[in-house]
């Protein structure tokens, strides 16, 4: 069976859900494997009032016994603590006792208008509830399970912010796990203390102007097993799958691996990572412009993926829009929102990358039980060490 997941739930509905299928039986999990990343997703200077309400903790409903997966579908629930404030009217499950006004002022940059046209709806509430980035809490929960799986085989996923609005740090070719030890202590999850202060100031200044900011983050995977992914078909190439996973996150508008777009400026003699070998290290590279992937497959160097998040489309000083009911020019709909969510988006991206890698591990090594997967991984490691 392939490893897959789906999420369900609305931003202000009763709960969010994640359903994972294809996990091998016997994988050990603890609440901390999932809840730690849910808490990290709520971090970051510039977050809105919703983060003061929600205290995300996962409730495992199926697929786990005594802290180990049992091979059946694995279901998680994350209750929305704000639900009681919406349950009687705007997000009532059944017909409410009183009429609820339709929301008819789509926001530029949001899914509102495109979704209303798609579903032929005169109310953007059903669109925005599912399109909201609140849904990413369920993705992070699924990613926590995936991290536990790939961590078993020596892979660790980390992220950091390299730009918020006009403030940025120079990209680094080499980072280690130790470099990320205190990244969550930064209010914007930036490794550079000076840049962190400037980024925080930029967020504050734009918030005072009733504006929002986007930015750029990196995800690093240390200890990536070589040979994950495939060159055989486009849809199996790991870089393509990572691109889809990251671009599927709300507000992400661009993705690059390794040196990315910079490779378009370099000649081939400077663009590629030369190959070396020693008895102690086996095959190795002295550079990693490829970001750990060649021909759609990992080759053993750290995986490096970078993505850009556009500014949040809900502004407290709304942009121009059109009332879909009257076709009159109006200001766009305004709802509680963040000023900047780039630090949180990086945590969501960790989950997305981890799940793609977990899928690739299961595809390559199989196993109905985790012991079977362990044995296959060990055989592979022995073979490539020759």
Per-residue pLDDT tens digits for 176-219: 999 999 999 999 999 999 999 999 999 999 999 999 999 999 99
Is the backbone of residue 81 left (phi > 0), alpha (psi -120 to 50) or beta?
alpha
The residue among 201, 190, 165 whose CA lies nearest residue 310 is: 165
Q: What is the SS3 assignment for 148?
A: helix
Residue 287 has pLDDT above 60, yes or no: yes
- CA separation for the pair 54, 70 (Å, rounded): 30
pLDDT band at 53 (very low <50, low <70, confident <90, very high): low
Q: Domains in the chain, please, with CATH?
A: 4-384 (3.60.150.10)
Mean pLDDT to the nearest integer, 171-178: 94
For the segment 147-160, what is each residue's pLDDT rounded down to a tens digit?
A: 999 999 999 999 99
pLDDT band at 69 (very low <50, low <70, confident <90, very high): very high
Q: What is the SS3 assignment for 84?
A: helix
The CB density around residue 7, as the number of other CB atoms within 10 Å, is: 19
- CA separation for the pair 292, 324 (Å, rounded): 47
- CA separation for the pair 318, 112 (Å, rounded): 14
Distance of CA 121 to the CA centre of its chain: 29
Mean pLDDT to the nearest integer, 19-27: 98
- CA separation for the pair 302, 293 (Å, rounded): 9
Residue 50 has pLDDT above 60, yes or no: no
**Contact between 48 and 336 (Cβ < 8 Å):** yes
- CA separation for the pair 221, 299 (Å, rounded): 12
Q: What is the SS3 assignment for 38?
A: helix
Tokens of 126: 């059903």
76 membership: H or E segment, kind and range: strand 74-79
Distance of CA 193 to the CA centre of its chain: 24
The pTM assigned to this predicted structure is 0.95
Mean pLDDT to the nearest integer, 132-145: 96
Q: Residue 382 forms beta bridges with which residues?
A: none
CA-to-CA dists, residue 196 to 36, 66, 162, 179, 252, angstroms:
22, 42, 9, 15, 21
- CA separation for the pair 287, 294 (Å, rounded): 13
Residue 71 has pLDDT above 90, yes or no: yes
Q: What angle do CA 172, 173, 176 make, to 5 degrees?
A: 85
């Amino acid at each position: 069976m392939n490893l897959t997941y789906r999420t369900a739930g609305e931003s202000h509905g009763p709960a969010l859900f994640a359903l994972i299928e294809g996990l091998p039986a016997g994988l050990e999990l603890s609440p901390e494997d999932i809840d730690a990343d849910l808490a990290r997703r709520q971090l970051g200077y510039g977050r809105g009032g919703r983060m003061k309400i929600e205290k995300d903790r996962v409730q495992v409903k199926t697929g786990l016994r005594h802290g180990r997966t049992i091979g059946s579908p694995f279901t998680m629930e994350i209750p929305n603590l704000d639900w009681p404030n919406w349950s009687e009217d705007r997000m009532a499950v059944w017909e409410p006792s009183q009429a609820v006004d339709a929301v008819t002022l789509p926001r530029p940059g949001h899914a509102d208008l495109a979704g209303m046209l798609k579903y032929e709806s005169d109310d953007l509430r059903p669109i925005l509830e599912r399109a909201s980035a609140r849904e990413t809490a369920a993705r992070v929960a699924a990613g926590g399970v995936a991290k536990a799986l790939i961590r078993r085989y020596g892979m660790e996923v980390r992220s950091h912010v390299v730009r918020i609005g006009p403030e940025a740090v120079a990209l680094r070719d080499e980072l280690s796990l130790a470099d990320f030890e205190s990244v969550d202590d930064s209010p914007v999850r930036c490794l550079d203390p000076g840049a962190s202060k400037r980024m925080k100031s930029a967020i504050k200044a734009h918030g005072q102007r009733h504006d929002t900011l986007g930015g750029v983050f990196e995800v690093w995977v240390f200890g990536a097993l070589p040979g994950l992914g495939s060159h055989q078909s486009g849809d199996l190439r790991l870089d393509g799958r990572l691109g889809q996973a990251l671009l599927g996150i709300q507000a992400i508008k661009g993705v690059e691996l390794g040196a990315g777009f910079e490779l378009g400026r370099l000649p081939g003699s400077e663009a590629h990572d030369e190959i070396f070998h020693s008895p102690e290290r086996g095959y190795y590279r002295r550079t990693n412009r490829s970001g750990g992937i060649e021909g759609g497959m990992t080759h053993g160097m750290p995986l490096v993926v970078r993505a850009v998040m556009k500014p949040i489309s809900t502004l407290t000083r709304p942009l121009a829009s059109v009332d879909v009911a009257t076709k009159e020019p109006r200001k766009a709909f305004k709802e509680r929102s963040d000023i900047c969510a780039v630090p949180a988006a990086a945590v969501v991206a960790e989950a997305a990358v981890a799940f793609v890698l977990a899928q690739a591990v299961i595809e390559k090594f199989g196993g109905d039980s985790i012991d079977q997967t362990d044995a296959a991984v060990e055989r592979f490691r022995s073979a490539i060490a020759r």
